[in-house]
Structure 1
Amino acid sequence: MNIQSILAVTDLSAHGLRTVVRAANIAAAHGALLKIMYAPAAFAGPADADAAGGLGAVCLEVAERFGILVKKIDDTRGRLDGAAHEAQWCDLMVIGDEPDRSLAAFFRGQPAEQLVRAAQRPVLVARLDARAGGYGRILVAVDLMEESRPLVDLACAFDGQSDIELFHAFTPMHEGKLRYADVSAHVIDAYRHACARHARERMLWLSDASIARRNRVVSSIGRGDPARQAAVQQQYSKADLLVVGKRRRCALMDFLFGSVALRVLRWSTGDVLVVPHCALTARQGQHAAALAQRGAA
């Protein structure tokens, strides 16, 4: 993942400053510019009149502590649309996990969900203490489709020192229909094993996609709801960060039918990086162009 600029949003509270520290750690590791923006918790409530002064002090302290370039975003109105607009010019957005419990959020979604849709940029929801530095273990939730390859590559490049675990949870789609048709248990069991075998083959294909990190990439397979199983696996494997892709869908579709990425956000207790499908598509295009250029040379 080529990170050149990061936007961190903070409410200047102790919890909000942990978000800034996490973003600063990532910026230092990638040599990126860190932009820091103020917004009240969950983008709700009135803006702090003293936010400009407090934000300036935070920027100076972070720049000195981490030895990175830091830019203060002067917009202190604390509005979500302002943060989404600023995120369009960054490679990564880092926010806290303060939930919005208003009735409007029930229909529109939580701030992180709205930002993923509006900015179409990777959004890191930071929940863990970042004083230890980078991530020790990263869990990547994959769906075995072609788009999973750039997601794995992105996770590997996100933190060069982390161990990577690929995880896929499958649910045999037609098992219920087979039971309804009174198919024998032996046939259903064979079908279930065939689904598991296919998942293992695709996981091997995905792990081979990251040649430089192959010796540090492991994989595991679960069975059941993908979002819930990914959150459970994050706790089981003690992964600091869970990376999940999100396909582009309208807010109404997400509200009516749900989204694996958004349900992972709700159930996970660790940090979560949500990567929109368009960001993965752009990465695929860059990779293909690089290969073509290398072949022409």
Structure 2
Amino acid sequence: MQSIRTLLAASDLSAFARHAAERAAMVATDVGARLSIAHVVNGGGLNALRHLVDVGTGDVAARLLDEVRGEVRELVDDIGQRFGAKVDMHLATGAVLSELSMYAEVIDADLLVLGARGSSVVREWLLGTTTERILSKTTRAVLVVKQMPHENYQRVLVPVDFSPRSADALRFARSVAPKADLILLHAFEVPFEGKLRYAGVESDALAALRVTAKREAVEKMNALVTAAGLGDAGVRRIVLHGDPAATILAQEQEQDCDLIVIGKRGLGLLEELLLGSVTKHILAQSNGDVMVTDRVCR
């Protein structure tokens, strides 16, 4: 079984970022991993502030950094005490994306944890943009936290497409939530089904194609579970006909899942683009947290 050794929670000191830090601490405590909380002060903003204030007023930027450092230290200490975790603190000045990426490399983070929103409408938009940029560039798993954490993850939904990364996503899901029920979901559509219907193929023939496609998907699902070494305990398998994004969101609600684990890439360029589209839709529309995996955890 793979393991998660290091988590990095990015914080802008908003309430939503605190939720992310709390979830990261909960996971770190549960799996015995190291946790670091990072805050990046925008370097361009600091330089602009220095130009705006009078020289005689002293270094306002330095005082601002001291205040921010104190807030981050307070957050780190509170999280550590509440969850019984050893939490490292990292404060940097510069471009948010590059600083977070560099620090993730330094500590070799297996999982980046981000809040779904910032502390205002403007920050919400900015954090959404940063999250998407991180997802497009990083080879590390990213957990986007949408809900205030009350307990460890109980039911994890894992959409699979039977690509090699599906097995990686399953193992990652088990590593993040070792005691949770895993619900494996494959949503399928008959290739060119709409065109076949338009071409006059009868409903009975299309239904027969769906039955065949579902049977093949069930066989692949069983093989995937075996290859991932999960066993049958705490693992459910669902194969449904329908649009992938709509089916995933519907099953999130029907199965009462608190986490969705989805891979970033599938089979080839076309599948990568399709899965990217589905992943973005799930990130935007899901009620619970979403983890996007890319490389395997070690």
Q: Which residue pairs with 1:91 in the alignment?
A: 110
Residue deviations 1:133-190 (CA, integer Å, cap 9, x gap): x101000010122321222122122211100100111111122232233223322221
Q: Which residue pairs with 1:79 in the alignment?
A: 96
TM-score for the superposition, normalised by structure 1: 0.80
Task: Tell whether the 8 Å contact from 2:20 to 2:115 is kept in structure 1 after alignment.
Answer: yes
Mapped to 2, the partners of 1:258 and 1:82 lie a distance apart of 25
State how 1:31-50 maps to structure 2 within 5 Å: 31-39=32-40, 49=65, 50=67
Matched, 1:191 2:209: yes
Q: Using the TM superposition, give the Cα deviation of residue 206 of structure 1 relative to its aligned residue in structure 2, in angstroms.
A: 2.0
Structure 1: runs of 5+ lacking an equivalent: 287-297
SS at match of 2:91: coil
**One-letter identity of the residue aligned with 1:152:** L
User: What is the aligned-residue RMSD (CA, Å)?
Assistant: 3.0
Mapped to 2, the partners of 1:144 and 1:101 lie a distance apart of 38
Q: Which residue pairs with 1:62 in the alignment?
A: 79
Q: Using the TM superposition, give the Cα deviation of residue 94 of structure 1 relative to its aligned residue in structure 2, in angstroms.
A: 0.4
Aligned residues: 270
Matched, 1:177 2:199: no
TM-score for the superposition, normalised by structure 2: 0.80
**One-letter identity of the residue aligned with 1:14:** A
Task: Tell whether the 8 Å contact from 1:38 to 1:78 is kept in structure 2 after alignment.
Answer: no
SS at match of 2:153: coil
Matched, 1:237 2:237: no
Mapped to 2, the partners of 1:170 and 1:204 lie a distance apart of 16
Counterparts in 2 of 1:178 and 1:212: CA distance versus 1, 3 Å:
closer
Larger Rg: 2
Q: Which residue pairs with 1:119 in the alignment?
A: 138
Of the two structures, which has the highest relative contact order with CA contacts closer than 8 Å and spacing of 6 or more?
Answer: 2
Residue deviations 1:80-119 (CA, integer Å, cap 9, x gap): 22122222321100000017977xx79x973222112222
Q: Using the TM superposition, give the Cα deviation of residue 24 of structure 1 relative to its aligned residue in structure 2, in angstroms.
A: 0.5
Counterparts in 2 of 1:156 and 1:213: CA distance versus 1, 3 Å:
farther
Mapped to 1, the partners of 2:128 and 2:91 lie a distance apart of 26
Mapped to 1, the partners of 2:245 and 2:121 lie a distance apart of 22
Task: Tell whether the 8 Å contact from 1:84 to 1:118 is kept in structure 2 after alignment.
Answer: no
Task: Tell whether the 8 Å contact from 1:207 to 1:218 is kept in structure 2 after alignment.
Answer: no
Task: Tell whether the 8 Å contact from 2:4 to 2:175 is kept in structure 1 after alignment.
Answer: no
Q: Using the TM superposition, give the Cα deviation of residue 268 of structure 1 relative to its aligned residue in structure 2, in angstroms.
A: 0.8
Structure 2: runs of 5+ lacking an equivalent: 47-63
Residue deviations 1:227-274 (CA, integer Å, cap 9, x gap): 222122111111010000002899xx96x9952222211111110000
Mapped to 2, the partners of 1:257 and 1:18 lie a distance apart of 27
Q: Using the TM superposition, give the Cα deviation of residue 197 of structure 1 relative to its aligned residue in structure 2, in angstroms.
A: 1.3
Percent identity at matched positions?
Answer: 32
